[in-house]
Amino acid sequence: MRTVTSFFGVLIGAWIVQAIHPTLALQLPGPPWNWLLTTGPVGLAASLAWWRSEHPLVRGLGSASLAIASLLSVAATCWPIAVFPVGVDAPHWLNWFGLADPLSSLPFAIAMAAVAINLAVSLGRRLRCGPDRLRFTILHLGLLTAILGGAAGHGGLIRARFIMEEGAKPGDAVTAVDGRRVRLPVALCLDDFVLDRYAPMLLVAEADGSLFRGEVLIGSGAHDLVRGLQIEVTEWLPSAAVVADRPVPFSEPGTNPAARVVIRDVGGGILGDGWLHPPGPYGSELFLALPGGRSLHLDEPRPQRYLAKIRADGVSHEITINHPLRVDGWAIYLLSYDESLGPASRTASFEAIEDRALPAVYIGLGLLILGVLMHLWKPRMAGDRV
C-alpha cells in the first residue's frame, strides 16, 4: 500500500508541475536514446524483481494495487482526448490542469512509466517463481512489449505527408511532419488516380431540416419508397452536366448522374415530376420542392473504392486504403484525394511512415492474442491470482 501512496504522491507532484508549466511537453528522443530510455529502466526493474523477488519494494512495485492505481492514472490523464477535440477546439480550462496536450504531459508519462514498471516487476517475479499461470505471463509480456515498442517507436518514428499529381516528375524527397527533409528509399510518381463510386441514392429533406436517405441505388427504372413518397425514375443520365437548369449528357471524369423522377403519394396521386442532379464540378444541384416544405434530392454518389497507380523506381504498384506499399522499412499509405473534384481528381495525398519499432509492437500484439486464446481455452478459476 505504501508503494501506491508514494506513486500517488509522485503523480500529484507531477500534476502540480504541469499545472504551473502548462506548456511543458515531453517527447522521447530519437534512436538510440528512445530504446535506452524505455527498455533500460524496465529491464532493471525486471532484473531486480528476479533477483530479490520477495523484497517489500519489489512486492509493492509488482502488486495488483499498483497495477490498478497506474492504469486508473493513465485513464485519468488521457480522458480529455476522449471527450474534447483536443488541439482543435478544446476548452480553455484544460490548460489550468495542464491537460491541453495530455499525451505529452508529465502526469501521463509518470502513469505510463508506472504501468511499465509494474508489468516488468510482475514479470520478473513470475519468471523467478516458475511457469505457473503461463497465460497471464504471456499476456503481461505481450502488453509490456507492445507498450515498449509503441513508446520507443514514437521517439524514432518518421512520418511524412505529401501530395502527388498525375504526370509529375518522380521524386524521393519529402518533408516530415517535424519539418525535416527526408529521402524515401525510392523515387515515386503518380501515374493514375482511380475513384469508383456507387450509384447515388435519394434524399428527402423535411421542413424541419432532418434528412432521410433512400435505400435503393438509383439507376434506370429504379423505384424507391422514402418517407411515404413513391419515387420512380423515368429517365436516367449516368453522366451529365447541368446547362441552363437542364441536365445534358456529358462524359468526363467527375460528372454526376442525373435522374428524372415521378413522385407519387401513397394513394398514387402525382406530387411532382422533374430532374434531380447532385451538385458537382459540372453543374449545380437540381432538386424538387414538394408540398409541406419538403424537398427531394439526389445525394452525391459515395466512394466505393479508390486506388493510386504509382511507379516506384520504374516499377508499377497499386495502393489502396487497406493495402499500403512497403519498401525498405517504409510503408506508403494512400490517405485521400481532392474530394471537391471527386473522380476528376488528378492528385492524391499519401503518408510515408518509417517505424523501426513496429516488429516489437506486432510481437507484443501477437503475444497478447496468444494469451487471450489460451485464456479462452482454459478459463480462469474464481479466486486465481491475476
Partner 1 sequence: MSTVAWWMEAGAVLCWLVAGIAAVRAIRRPGRSDGCYRWLTGLGCLLVVTLLGWLWLALDRPPLRTLGETRIWYAGLSVVAGSLVAWRLGTTSLRLPMLIMGILFLSLNLVFPQALDKTLMPALRSPLFVPHVVVYLLSYAVLGISGGMALWRFIRRHPDPDLPFRLVHAGLPLLTLGLCLGAIWAKEAWGHYWAWDPKETWALLTWIAYVALIHGERGLRERPRLALGIIAGCFVVVLMCWFLVNHLPSTAVSVHTYTRE
Task: Report the nearest approach of partner 1 to the CB of residue 244 (Å).
Answer: 32
Task: Report the nearest approach of partner 1 to the CB of residue 150 (Å).
Answer: 7
Site for partner 1 in 144-163 (CB under 8 A): 150, 159
Q: Between 47 and 175, whose beta carbon lies closer to partner 1? A: 175
Q: What share of the chain is helix, strand, coil (3-state, %, to 5)?
A: 35, 30, 30
Q: Which stretch binds partner 1 (CB under 8 A): 123-131, 266-274, 309-317, 365-373?
A: 365-373
Residue length of the chain: 386
Buried/exposed 45-59: b ≥16 CB within 10 Å, e otherwise: bbebbbeebeeeebb
Q: Which stretch binds partner 1 (CB under 8 A): 5-13, 24-32, 171-179, 317-325?
A: 317-325
- Write each residue from 186 to 215 as x if it is in contact with partner 1 (CB under 8 A), else as -, in one continuous string: ------------x--x----------xxxx
In the set 182, 187, 194, 217, which binds partner 1 (CB under 8 A)? 217
The verdict on 322 binding partner 1 (CB under 8 A) reads yes
Around Cβ 117, how many Cβ atoms within 10 Å? Answer: 23
- Write each residue from 91 to 130 as x if it is in contact with partner 1 (CB under 8 A), else as -, in one continuous string: ------------x---------------------------
Please name which of 58, 208, 217 lies closest in space to residue 122, comparing C-alpha atoms.
Answer: 58
The verdict on 10 binding partner 1 (CB under 8 A) reads no
Strand extents, DSSP E, the chain: 158-165, 171-175, 181-197, 202-205, 211-213, 223-226, 229-243, 246-249, 256-264, 270-276, 288-289, 295-298, 303-312, 315-320, 325-327, 330-337, 347-354
The verdict on 380 binding partner 1 (CB under 8 A) reads yes
The verdict on 26 binding partner 1 (CB under 8 A) reads no
Q: Between 241 and 361, whose beta carbon lies closer to partner 1? A: 361
At 219, the amino acid letter reads G
The verdict on 342 binding partner 1 (CB under 8 A) reads no
Q: How far apart are CA 215 and CA 2, in angstroms?
A: 62
Helix (H) or strand (E) holding 263: strand 256-264
The verdict on 361 binding partner 1 (CB under 8 A) reads yes
At 275, the amino acid letter reads W
DSSP-derived pairing of the beta strands 295-298 and 181-197: unpaired
Task: Report the nearest approach of partner 1 to the CB of residue 240 (Å).
Answer: 21
Q: Which stretch binds partner 1 (CB under 8 A): 53-61, 164-172, 256-264, 330-338?
A: 330-338
Please name which of 198, 265, 200, 261 lies closest in space to residue 230, comparing C-alpha atoms.
Answer: 265
The verdict on 321 binding partner 1 (CB under 8 A) reads yes
Task: Report the nearest approach of partner 1 to the CB of residue 243 (Å).
Answer: 29
- Hunting for cell 433512400 — which residue is that? 214
Q: Contact, 4 vs 69, CB < 8 A?
A: yes
Task: Report the nearest approach of partner 1 to the CB of residue 195 (Å).
Answer: 9
In the set 12, 25, 26, 75, which binds partner 1 (CB under 8 A)? 75
Side-chain-facing half-sphere of 81: CA atoms under 13 Å: 14
DSSP state of 101: S
Three-state SS across 293-317?
HCEEEECCCCEEEEEEEEEECCEEE
The verdict on 67 binding partner 1 (CB under 8 A) reads yes
At 179, the amino acid letter reads G
The verdict on 270 binding partner 1 (CB under 8 A) reads no
Residues near partner 1 (CB under 8 A) are: 64, 67-68, 71-72, 74-75, 78-79, 81-89, 103, 139, 150, 159, 198, 201, 212-217, 302-306, 320-324, 331, 333, 335, 351, 353, 358, 361-362, 365, 368-369, 372-373, 375-376, 379-380, 382-383, 385-386
